Amino acid sequence: MLGPASVQDLGRVGQYRFGVGTSGAMDDIALRAGNILLGNDENAAGVEIAFAPFKLRFNADAAFALTGADGGAELNGRLLPPWWRACAHAGDILVLKAMSRGARSYLTVAGGIDVPLVLGSRSTQLRGEFGGFHGRALQPGDILPCDRSESPDDAGELGAEPADIALRQRTLASGARRIRVIIAGEYDRYDEAARQLFWHTDWRVTPQSNRYGYRLEGPPVQPIVPIEKRSHGIVPGVIQIPPNGQPIIQLRDAQTSGGYPKFATVVEADLWRIGQAGLGSRLRFEPISHQEALAAQAEVSVYLERLRASVRLQGEL
């Protein structure tokens, strides 16, 4: 179960000292791209959709964008391309039929979803039941408030190059997604055989995966001797290995501390790739240096700046 639809922005930062995790979009690039297409602040809240079919009725005219996974979206029966901005009129029905090329779609609207800020963010914290829309997942009949003060009613249709194309979704011959990581604190507590087992395994995302974390399945990776640690701080992207040897990737709704040993950490530039990996997907991890991780993040920045420039140019025409 990857998780229900919820309101998310880029996350709740600066609250770790209070034991409050980040929450936020699992695919932050898709959320940013949708907001860029609409001229929103890039941190404007949108709807993260992890299941299809998904249906929504517009109660007022609005510009909107769909990014992330291709959900086979239709507006009043008209097929919409993925990574696309369009306009809806009051009463129009938007339907996402089935997810393909990814696991999560993002619906952004001009002006953003106007739910209250809680600890500096509009993201839903499902574990703590606060933020977002009444601190919970969306349900049939919910009416989401939108900030109409910035809604461009005359916005035309416009597309963006999908991130998995622009940033080259790296897929191995085995079908596994290549995910870049840097080694973490307890890496040296594993011998060379255990390390090579970790690096050369195609890890399967199990049904026990969700916004809290992805539980992976493969051959058990065991330390040289059993590791016992007190709980310590963890962040999204940390890969921990519990006693059963099956890795867990901590994600957006993860708790802020844990005692399992840390083997590696997914680089920031690839966290969105994890967010778009569905149940049953396979992941292959690749260790890179700190400098390579910074270079990977720079590629993301270039992609987003190129999209911003394209939208600005379209607005001048």
* 143 pLDDT more than 70: yes
d(CA 99, CA 51): 7
Q: What span, in angstroms and rounded, lies between the C-alpha atoms of 79 and 95?
A: 10
Question: Which domains, from first to last, does the chain contain?
Answer: 6-160 (no CATH), 177-296 (2.40.100.10)
From the list 266, 250, 255, the residue with the least C-alpha distance to 15 is 255
- So what's the pLDDT on residue 1? 47
pLDDT digits (tens, 9 = 90+) for 223-255: 999 988 888 888 999 999 999 999 999 999 998
Tell me the pTM: 0.95
For the chain, give the percent of residues with pLDDT over 70. 96
pLDDT of 151 over the 70 cut: no
Chain segment 169-200, per-residue pLDDT in tens:
778 888 899 999 999 999 999 999 999 999 99
Q: Which residues, in sequence order, are bridge partners of residue 63?
A: 87
Contact 236, 251 (CB under 8 A): yes
pLDDT tens-place string over residues 64-115: 999 999 999 999 999 999 999 999 999 999 999 998 889 999 999 999 999 9
For β-strands 177-183 and 282-287, DSSP reports them as parallel
Distance of CA 256 to the CA centre of its chain: 18
pLDDT of residue 172: 85
Note the pLDDT tens digit of each residue in 29-58: 999 999 999 999 999 999 999 988 999 999
Torsion angle defined by CA atoms of residues 110, 24, 298 and 112, in that order, rounded to the nearest 10 degrees? 10
Give residue 149's pLDDT: 58
Please compute the mean of the pLDDT values over residues 273-297 and round it to a whole number: 96
Percent of the chain with pLDDT over 90: 81
